[in-house]
Structure 1
Amino acid sequence: MLEAYQAFGDYETMMETVEKLITTVAENILDTLIVPRGKYVGAANQNLKAAIENLEQKILPSFHAYLIPMGVVGEPRKQSEDRIRSILQPLYDLFDEIGEDKDRGGFWTHASKVNGLLQQVGIQLQSLVNAQPKDGVVVLSDSPLAQFGHMAEAIKAVAELERIILKLPWRRVKYNDLIKEKAGTDWFTISAAERRQKAHDMGAEIGKEFEDFEVTNAVFSKFIEPTLINPTFVTHLPKELVPLAKLSPDDPTTVEVFECCINGQEIAPGYTEQNDPIAQRTTLEHQAGGEQQKLDEDFLVALEHGMPPAGGIGIGIDRLCMMLLGQESIRDVILFPQLKPK
């Protein structure tokens, strides 16, 4: 963990520091701000290849269902099928090319070419929908065209998942807003018991001893954090999670904190340091649950002597290396990883 502090800074200046540090490292070491997601690239390419191979099987059944009621059989039906196959063939060829291109990383390196081809194929299929039957060759109905459209959108979505885009600006979003997007807009208005039950029904791992804020954080950890692939600063966390941070002036239930999440995990937390000795003592006493021996009196006395405003960050070097190098396991970036005894 790399820790850094800035006198007269705050969580906003520390977010800028994290952005600059990570993008500078990526540009200097990798010479790019677009990073492949390790093993996911291979899995994504396999899924895309399967989608193309199944495309014909997805379209033709609907196509046949359209032909049969019209009594189209024999040579006219074959001509219609051949026309569809000729339109789809460039997609097969392109994805064969992508699968063989092991040096360029993944699908996203061909994104402009693929998107252009998908658009071209869509136009050609649309022309069959709009055309009139000619010489006994029947045109497409809307159903198979819609199936192609769904598949094209799925391809684009998979392409986005196999890369991390570090280009600025990075997204900033409040913790509570993410919770409400996932768990419902009423999450913070229902009772604590209802929140616990709802989290349990969603599949979050809730311990019997969990406090209310821990229930909410369990939802964040299981259902939200893993989806934050591109850099995202999650801000204004509950005050119970970071007792050494300064309270948010616009919402005293939260603190001036951020978690920088990339590739589905926290890379760097940071916050505005709490320099008010009275507020800090109150927070630590609540955390200690009334047990005086748990209080760090030396720290509190030092704070009473005076501390300037400051911001702090902690960057997980191992996780940062995993992300930049496209590794899936922390063992792959640690010089001497701890192994299980034989």
Structure 2
Amino acid sequence: MNRSKMNSKLLYLIISHLPITTTSFCFDRTCTNLSSISHGPVRKYPTDLPTFSRANKYRNRQTYFSLYSLADSISSSSTQLNAATLDSPVIEDTKIVSKIEDKTAQSDWKSDNFVFGLESSGLSRPKGKVAQIVVEGDDLETTPAQLALVTSTLLTHAIVAAISISGLVSNHGIISGSVLGVMTAVASYISADLGSGVLHWSVDNYGNGRTPIFGSIIAAFQGHHSAQWTITQRGLCNNVHKLCTPFGIPTILAISALFHSPTISLFFAVFCAAEIMSQEFHKWSHMTKGEAPGLVNWLQEVGFILGRREHALHHIAPYGCKYCIVNGFCNEFLDSSGIFRRFEHQIYKWNGVESNAMKLDPKLREKTLSGKYSLD
């Protein structure tokens, strides 16, 4: 068998054992055309075994992955092999490999990087007031189960509150009992605003969709920054039902059974109901005056529920202030005191985990870790 036939057979064996169909091989800078498709720009890899294995992985992982060749017809001299000096063939492919790697590196709603503003979040802000579902399995339609859960939960809180007020009046008289009841409700409502700030800060900055109990809430809050108008297209029960898990019927019944105190029961009935409704107050703060009911506009103007201007400040990156969403009463104190920055600094020193606000703003990170906590 002469050398020319050996070279041809060797070339045939190499090609027939490759797992890639659209490939060009280059020997001595001359390419064998195995595909009619030609695109650029291209990137070259040596055709050793690890390279072919890597290319095969790309092909298996992405069914649409293609390799393109830039080739001329092979000349008779292009298959000459030199026993002493054999040039390593190269495989040419497009930059689609890097694009695939970028896509596979993006986060989903159960990832720690699922934070709008991070390059790896996979989140983008649509133009206009467009609804965007970010949590798998979520939907904007209210289901019968959501309706039943929210209705029974709020009704239970109302019954517990009414029984508690009746107990206060029975124990202290109608005037003293009523005054004590109002004071308890006001204190509870302000505490609920503070509690909503702590909850909002924690779910905005820590955890992900895999976090027990709060996972879906965390993903919803963190994804909310990418399409804040989505919340306005939810009905009441669809919007607040997730908060009925931590602040629902088992919670208020357990507290009432544990303390046997009408004051404590009233406090937590108002507190839990306000926490649940805070998400609806939050929704109204994203609606225009023309979209919101007249009563809602009035309640916002008098400061009983969260106002539009107050909450709009929260939606400025890195989303590090104005976390309270019942009525925003506690925001000024929390932001000026820097209490959340202090918490973030302590958490970082404890386990090295950065808040999402610090991830988004290097200057805020530097300021926080240097002990400068106030946002003024």
TM-score of the superposition, structure 2-length normalised? 0.25
Q: Which has the higher contact order (CA 8 A, sep 6+)?
A: 1
TM-score of the superposition, structure 1-length normalised? 0.27
Which one has a bigger Cα radius of gyration?
2
